[in-house]
């Protein structure tokens, strides 16, 4: 994996995301309840604070939970909820160590069926169906991981030029389109909720 991503809108953070499967997974994990750029900058911040050039699943899995939470909590915090996200990142790394010898790329490497890849992603701690579909779309659209049926398995996120998620962000212009889509979805959900009252 060695591509240029533009998810953090920060060259050093994006460079790490483009070459490190674990960083990409951790960024996706962090992508909730904070701006996308903040979430995807998280892996670079964690690596820097650990004094490393990349994230290492074995190292993170073995960290003392309180010490690792302190790494994410240091100002500026990696996430709005650094303690709970530190726990989730560790759970993800522990799962990868247990099931994939700590190599995040093995989650998708050699998988030939989109449904199987979606199943594997959904099994990751912190990845529900929607997050798994978005990450599958990111793999297919930007990282060259295109098993048979990947677009169908990714659902609407797999549609070409849909601008629904981080899978479609290739620069500032597409980031604006994805943001606009998310705001439309929130407004529609709010209107539907209000109509039920």
Q: List, for residues 31-83, the tens digit of each pLDDT value.
A: 998 888 899 999 999 999 999 999 999 999 999 999 999 999 999 999 999 99
pLDDT > 90? residue 26: yes
Confidence of residue 153 (pLDDT cuts 50, 70, 90): very high
Half-sphere exposure for 168 (CA within 13 Å, toward CB): 22
- Among the residue ranges 28-37, 95-104, 129-138, 168-177, the one predicted with the least confidence is 168-177
Structure tokens at 15: 């460079």
pTM above 0.85, yes or no: yes
Q: What are phi and psi of 93, to 5 degrees?
A: -65, -40
């Amino acid at each position: 994996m060695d591509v240029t991503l533009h998810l953090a809108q920060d060259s050093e953070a994006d460079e790490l995301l483009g070459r490190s499967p674990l960083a990409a997974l951790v960024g996706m994990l962090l992508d909730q309840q904070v701006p996308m750029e903040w979430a995807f900058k998280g892996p670079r911040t964690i690596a820097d604070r650990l004094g490393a050039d990349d994230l290492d699943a074995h190292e993170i899995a073995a960290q003392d939970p309180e010490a690792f939470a302190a790494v994410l909590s240091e100002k500026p915090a990696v996430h709005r909820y650094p303690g709970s996200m530190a726990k989730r990142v560790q759970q993800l790394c522990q799962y990868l160590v247990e099931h994939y010898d700590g190599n995040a790329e093995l989650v998708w490497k050699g998988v030939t069926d989109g449904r199987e890849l979606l199943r594997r992603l959904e099994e990751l701690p912190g990845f529900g169906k929607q997050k798994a579909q978005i990450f599958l779309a990111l793999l297919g659209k930007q990282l060259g991981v295109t098993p048979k049926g990947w677009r169908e398995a990714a659902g609407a996120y797999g549609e070409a030029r849909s601008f629904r998620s981080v899978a479609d962000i290739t620069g500032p212009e597409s980031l604006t389109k994805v943001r606009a889509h998310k705001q439309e979805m929130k407004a529609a959900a709010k209107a539907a909720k209000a109509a039920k009252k």
